[in-house]
Amino acid sequence: MSALPDAEKLCAKLAAELKPRVGPNAAMVGIHTGGAWLAERLHAMLALAAPLGFMDIAFYRDDYHAQGLKHDPKRTRIPFDISGRELLLVDDVLYTGRTVRAAMNELFDYGRPASIALVVLADRGGRQLPICAQHCGAQVEVPAGMRLRLKRGVDGKLALALEAERAA
Amino acid sequence: MKLHIRGGRVVDPASGRDAVGDLYLADGRIAEAPAGRADRVIEAKGLVVAPGFIDLSARLREPGYEYKATLESEMDAAVAGGVTSLACPPDTDPPLDEPGLVDMLRRRAKALTRARLYPVGALTVKLKGEALTEMAELAESGCVAFSQANAPLGDTQVLWRALQYAATFRLPVWLRAEDLWLAKGGVAHDGEIATRLGLPGIPAFAETIALGTILELVRATGARVHVCRLSSAAGVELMRRAKQAGLPVTCDVGIHHVHLCDLDIGYFDSHCRLEPPLRSARDRDALARALVDGTADCLCSDHTPVDEDGKNLPFAEAEPGATGLELLLPLALKWGEASGLALAATLARITSEPARILGVASGRLAVGAPADVTVFDPGAAQRLTAASLKSQGKNTPFLGYELAGRVRYTIVAGNVVYEA
Amino acid sequence: MQRNPQLNANGELQHLLSIEGLPREVLTRILDTAESFAGVTEREVKTVPLLRGKSVFNLFFEPSTRTRTTFEIAAKRLSADVINLNIALSSQTKGESLLDTVANLSAMHADIFVVRHGSSGAPYLIARHVKPHEHVINAGDGRHAHPTQGLLDLFTIRHYRKDFSRLTAAIVGDVLHSRVARSLIHGLTTLGAPEVRVIGPQTLMPAGVESLGVRVFHDMRAGLKDCDVVVMLRLQNERMGGPLLPSAQEFFKHYGLTAEKLALARPDAIVMHPGPMNRGVEIDSTVADGPHSVILPQVTFGIAVRMAVMSMIAGN
């Protein structure tokens, strides 16, 4: 099994990639929890004018009927008007695509963006929906029975890690 | 019919006898050892042979409430519970305020040849608490006492006159001590539990205030009063002092009130909706002790079959009452064991003591006494299920409990009317 | 002792019947979830698709416009289908038992029953008889409990005061008949409020109320001293002119909240009322409309709290 890529390096790579592409209408929303951490870093690096938004997709998930409200939902805060924005939707790991589907549904309940570009740190494949990331840090292979997670140290440094999949 | 009950532990509370031995029954009475052979021998080794149990309150639901239970089903339940004599309260429909009704009921019961039935007549017409009934006539038809059952009697003038009238003919009056106004709308003991559950409460002083009134009127009239279903520690105190003062009063406690308290209502279990209400743990313990020291004379089942519809309602709307004839023995034994009593002392509370209050010759195993005998297995703990009850009333808070004490033979007037 | 019927075998909330018996963690979780929903109610599209396809049946055996309406709004904001059944007492006496009514509705594929009933314990009876996938929310049973009101009161207090561990709260009025009071008392004591007071005449205090963990005051001025939260209970007209209270005037004089009495509480004290208010009976208009009053925000919070309860329960 190859070593996991350095999250900090990937973050810097994404920022460099995004820099020439952000216009005056750009705004960023990070998906709790890993996407929010990543978004905090990118937002600062890109010095976006619009304040950073955070979202918790708990109320839009498609597995509510099977799992219920699993964890304590955090509050979605979008401190700018969505309508007409070129949104950068940020998440840490792209896998089945269901989280992004839920996030887009929720974003559209806030208004009508001009465009949404998906920015992810790592893509582990395994898509179950027609979703793709416009900006991706790296493709990562994840062994069966494991999950890929973003961790943040006490010093604020980001790192990717593999964990055993928790039984559903 | 000559019956020989062989080798059982013969317990006769009235005489204090408690020894392994034989009992002989002939011509409907307890007999000396006979010269010839018995018609039937009952092997009672390992079993207890006691006087048949006497229950001072069992509702048979006839006339009027046949959808809840019938004389047949409840008499079957009685003998399955070892009860050979029972008194039924007057709150039938119509109430037992007419000699004709009483007569009919007695004849129906007699024809069934199960337990002996002692009707308690209505104290007032239709139990309305206004006009006196023809107590002398009713007594001649077979009423052993007069009562309001659970119907309130708030008019103290009427109560006074009713006691005077009953005293005139030396007729006992059986009364529940509960002040009509203080109990109005209440469904549980007024205390912490009722407050938590948001249930309207009946304070304990609803009992003591009414009891004070009753005792004063007994003092004034000389009427013999039996107080039914004492429910509070304070009530026990009043009875104790009244007896010490020599008043002609007796009282009983219901089988539920020596074991359960308001905590047992739990999450609004309507099986605990009872009249009087289950009071606090302190009250329950005082009642259990009162039965030990004789302040409370006897235990009764207050058997009240309620159909499922009557209990499948929110607590305050549910019909009060629990089935009890088949639980009289196990619950008496449970109380006796918890109180550290000898078997004879325990059984006295359901045999010789209620016999004394009823004024009947059964309830003891002396030669010449009526041959009402119950043979039971004092161990044999069984889980109580609805299916195991013969009564049509399956409503009891004790469902699922493991209870010891199983009746094997019930004999009334020398005839085996039940065997298991 | 029976298992708490509100929690399923995994300790998850299956029904909401009473605040009493709910662990602190469950209460806190409900309040936190309600916090998230408060955000939803502030944006333009006020719905989330969480309960789409689910049916919420409002079974109100006691008339109520405001509680029923807030449950309806909450359910619709979760994209649930809502059916309102106002079962007047007279049609109940026409013969159909409570359980028969519920069984008939169950046959119409209900997911959540929101039940208000005049008899304490009615929702417990219903909860014992519903199918495993059906949930019961108590919208008020007799004098016993009104858990969603208690929760929205706790949410309100948390919003303005943050820290329950330093709180002195007073509940004023007809505690004897109040399910709102009982629920709030359980909530406050579970969340660790060090001093919960009840204020009212002896006739309106239930037996043994101290056992709920409260201090009883018959003198309102003494009871209000240094309070952070003052909750005024509604006094129903039927209580006047009988054996409990002589008149509204005398009640207002001694137990009504006026600016003058409120001044005895902390300067930043908040005033709450479950509604509807009887102005001039339990509360003065100047106080009801004044800067200490959070009575209107309570109503808004009520929607978020009910959304939280329904979404947590329906998923279990």
pLDDT in tens, B94-112: 999 999 999 999 999 999 9
Structure tokens at B106: 């007695």
Active site residue B309: no
Contact of A80 with chain C, judged by CB distance below 8 Å, is answered with: no
Question: Is there a domain that residue C157 lies in?
Answer: yes
Residue A2 has pLDDT above 70, yes or no: no
Question: Is there a domain that residue C251 lies in?
Answer: yes
| Overall number of domains in chain C | 2
User: What's the CA gap between A41 and C276, in Å, rounded?
Assistant: 50
Residues in B touching C102 (Cβ below 8 Å): none
Residues in A touching C315 (Cβ below 8 Å): 64-65, 67-69
The stretch B175-204 carries a mean pLDDT of 97
Question: Is there a domain that residue A117 lies in?
Answer: yes
Q: What is the pLDDT of residue B131?
A: 97
Cβ of C36 within 8 Å of Cβ of A59? The answer is yes
Residue C136 has pLDDT above 90, yes or no: yes
N-term to C-term CA, chain C: 24
The rounded radius of gyration (Å) of the Cα atoms in chain B is 20
Nearest residue on chain B to C204, judged by CA atoms? B195
Cβ of A73 within 8 Å of Cβ of C315? The answer is no
Return the residue matching tokens 């004290």.
C269
Q: What is the pLDDT of residue B134?
A: 97
Q: Are residues C163 and C287 in the same domain?
A: yes
Nearest residue on chain A to C48, judged by CA atoms? A59
Half-sphere exposure of B16 (CA within 13 A, CB side): 0
Q: Are residues C116 and C235 in the same domain?
A: no
Question: Is there a domain that residue C16 lies in?
Answer: no
Task: Name the residue facing C33 among A60, A65, A72 (closest C-beta).
Answer: A72
Confidence of residue C90 (pLDDT cuts 50, 70, 90): very low
Residue B132 has pLDDT above 70, yes or no: yes
The stretch B369-384 carries a mean pLDDT of 95
User: What's the CA gap between B95 and B126, in Å, rounded?
Assistant: 6
Neighbour count for residue B240 (Cβ, 10 Å): 15
B296 close to B354: Cβ distance less than 8 angstroms: no
User: What's the CA gap between B178 and A47, in Å, rounded?
Assistant: 81
Question: Is there a domain that residue A2 lies in?
Answer: no
Residues 6+ apart with CB under 8 A from C121: B197, B199, B267, B268, B314, B315, B316, C141, C142, C144
Question: Is there a domain that residue C15 lies in?
Answer: no
B47 close to B8: Cβ distance less than 8 angstroms: yes
Q: Are residues C249 and C130 in the same domain?
A: no
Question: Is there a domain that residue C213 lies in?
Answer: yes
Residue C89 has pLDDT above 80, yes or no: no
Q: Are residues C164 and C246 in the same domain?
A: yes
User: What's the CA gap between C75 and C229, in Å, rounded?
Assistant: 30
Q: What is the pLDDT of residues B321-338, one digit of tens each?
A: 999 999 999 999 999 999
User: What's the CA gap between B107 and C297, in Å, rounded?
Assistant: 72
Question: Is there a domain that residue A68 lies in?
Answer: yes
Q: Are residues C152 and C290 in the same domain?
A: yes
- Look up the domain containing A18 and give its range: 7-164
Q: Are residues C290 and C304 in the same domain?
A: no
b/e per residue, C26-56, with b = 16+ CB within 10 A? Answer: bbbbbbbbbbbbbbbbeeeeebbbbbeebbb
Q: Subunits that touch chain A (at least 3 Cβ pairs < 8 angstroms)?
A: C
Question: Is there a domain that residue C11 lies in?
Answer: no
Burial of B16 (0-12, 13-18, 19+ CB in 10 A): exposed
Q: Are residues C276 and C261 in the same domain?
A: yes
B249 close to B242: Cβ distance less than 8 angstroms: yes
The stretch B191-195 carries a mean pLDDT of 97
The stretch A121-149 carries a mean pLDDT of 93
Question: Is there a domain that residue C1 lies in?
Answer: no
Neighbour count for residue C94 (Cβ, 10 Å): 8
ipTM over 0.90: yes
Does C touch A (3+ CB pairs < 8 Å)?
yes
Q: What percent of chain B has pLDDT over 90?
A: 95
Q: What is the pLDDT of residues C167-193, one digit of tens each?
A: 999 999 999 999 999 999 999 999 999
The stretch C296-312 carries a mean pLDDT of 95
Q: Are residues C159 and C285 in the same domain?
A: yes
Q: Are residues C186 and C273 in the same domain?
A: yes
Which CATH number does the domain housing residue C276 bear?
Answer: 3.40.50.1370
Annotated catalytic residue within B12, B76, B302, B372: B302
Confidence of residue C93 (pLDDT cuts 50, 70, 90): low
Cβ of C36 within 8 Å of Cβ of A64? The answer is no
Which of A32, A54, A69, A110 is most worth mutating to test chain C (most C CB atoms within 10 A of its CB)?
A: A69
Question: Is there a domain that residue A84 lies in?
Answer: yes
What sign for the dihedral angle of Cα B189, B194, B199, B200? positive
B97 close to B341: Cβ distance less than 8 angstroms: no
| DSSP assignments along C45-95, one per residue | S---STTTT-EEEEEESS--SHHHHHHHHHHHHTT-EEEEEE--HHHHHTT
Q: Are residues C161 and C244 in the same domain?
A: yes
Work out the mean pLDDT of chain B and round it to a whole number: 96
Closest CA to C247 of C291, C203, C186, C182: C203
Q: How far is CA C245 from CA C144, C201, C223, C261, in A?
A: 22, 9, 20, 21
N-term to C-term CA, chain B: 20
Inter-chain CB pairs, A–C, below 8 Å: 51
Contact of C15 with chain B, judged by CB distance below 8 Å, is answered with: no
Q: What is the pLDDT of residue A23?
A: 92
Cβ of C97 within 8 Å of Cβ of B313? The answer is yes
Which CATH number does the domain housing residue A60 bear?
Answer: 3.40.50.2020
Cβ under 8 Å to B: C residues 126-145: 141-145
Q: What is the pLDDT of residue A165?
A: 84
Residue spans of the domains in chain B: they are 52-367+378-403
Question: Is there a domain that residue A1 lies in?
Answer: no
Q: What is the pLDDT of residue C227?
A: 97
Contact of C303 with chain A, judged by CB distance below 8 Å, is answered with: no
Residues 6+ apart with CB under 8 A from B82: B52, B53, B328, B329, B374, B376, B407, B410, B418
Contact of C9 with chain B, judged by CB distance below 8 Å, is answered with: no
Contact of C207 with chain B, judged by CB distance below 8 Å, is answered with: yes
Residues in B touching C120 (Cβ below 8 Å): 197-199, 268, 314-316
Residue A1 has pLDDT above 60, yes or no: no
User: What's the CA gap between C191 and C27, in Å, rounded?
Assistant: 8
Helix (H) or strand (E) holding B300: strand B298-300
Cβ of B198 within 8 Å of Cβ of C20? The answer is no
Cβ of B195 within 8 Å of Cβ of C1? The answer is no
Nearest CA-CA distance, residue C303 and chain A, Å: 16
Closest CA to A1 of A166, A142, A150: A142
Q: What is the pLDDT of residues C51-65, one digit of tens each?
A: 999 999 999 998 888
| Overall number of domains in chain A | 1
Residues 6+ apart with CB under 8 A from B80: B325, B326, B390, B407, B410, B418, B420
Q: What percent of chain B has pLDDT over 70?
A: 100
- Look up the domain containing C31 and give its range: 24-145+300-314
Cβ under 8 Å to A: C residues 136-175: none
Nearest CA-CA distance, residue C49 and chain A, Å: 6
Residues in A touching C12 (Cβ below 8 Å): 68
B322 close to B304: Cβ distance less than 8 angstroms: yes
CATH fold label, B52-367+378-403: TIM Barrel (3.20.20)
Which of C96, C125, C204 is most worth mutating to test chain B (most B CB atoms within 10 A of its CB)?
A: C125
Q: Are residues C105 and C160 in the same domain?
A: no
> In this structure, what DSSP letter does residue C272 have?
E
Q: Are residues C251 and C310 in the same domain?
A: no
Half-sphere exposure of A106 (CA within 13 A, CB side): 27
